[in-house]
Amino acid sequence: MKRNDIIRILVVSSYCVFLIVTWAIGFNPGKEIGRNFASFSLDMLKILPCAFILIGLFEVWVKRETVERHLGKESGIRGYIWGVLLAGTTIGGLYVAFPVAYSLYNKGARLSVIFTYLGASAICRVPMTIFEASFLGIKFTVIRLLVSLPLVILTSILLDNYLTRRNYKMVDRK
């Protein structure tokens, strides 16, 4: 067994022992940690299988040429708009956004558009934006989006330029 595998087994085993001891001695903060973990795990089990099925269908059904045309090097500002719109509809947060981004990368999307998609999926998903507007007001939400999105796009372009100069290639671990 590799050293990393042993470390993973030790961490998971330690966590399980912690939860068992917590429940045995009635340590309330530990019980709450266990409940939060169970709740989070159930939420992920509800979202991730459907998301991965959709990502698999995307891999099979959407042609590389379509992604290159709308999100590739020649897409211009349209690519960033598509990235933000796609990010706004992403359910499941970054747990789903990273596999989608990897799929877009494999289909020929420009790195800056992928970075824009990832940044936008963290800050402007539709359900999160509606929730924010209901508590903090529409004016605050609009100002935050008008400030955040250009900064995300600018940072994405700068990061793409930096990585392109360094001849960055994603490692294929298949």
Q: Are both 46 and 119 inside the same structural domain?
A: no
Which pair of tokens denotes residue 116? 């824009």
Containing structural domain, residue 50: 1-61
Same domain for 126 and 113, yes or no, is yes
* Pairwise CA distance, residues 117 & 89, whole Å: 11
pTM: 0.79
**CA R_g for the chain:** 20
| Look-up of token digits 């990368």 | 105
Identity of the amino acid at 15: Y
Please count the structural domains in the chain. Answer: 2
Residues 56 and 100 in one domain: no
Q: Which of 39, 61, 83 corresponds to the end of one domain? A: 61
CA 70 – CA 122 distance, rounded (Å): 21
- Given 61, 77, 111, the domain boundary residue is 61
pLDDT 10s digit of each residue in the chain, 174 long?
788 889 999 999 999 999 999 989 988 998 999 999 999 999 888 888 888 898 899 889 999 999 999 999 888 899 999 999 999 988 777 888 999 999 999 999 999 999 999 999 989 888 888 999 999 999 999 999 999 999 999 999 999 999 989 988 777 655
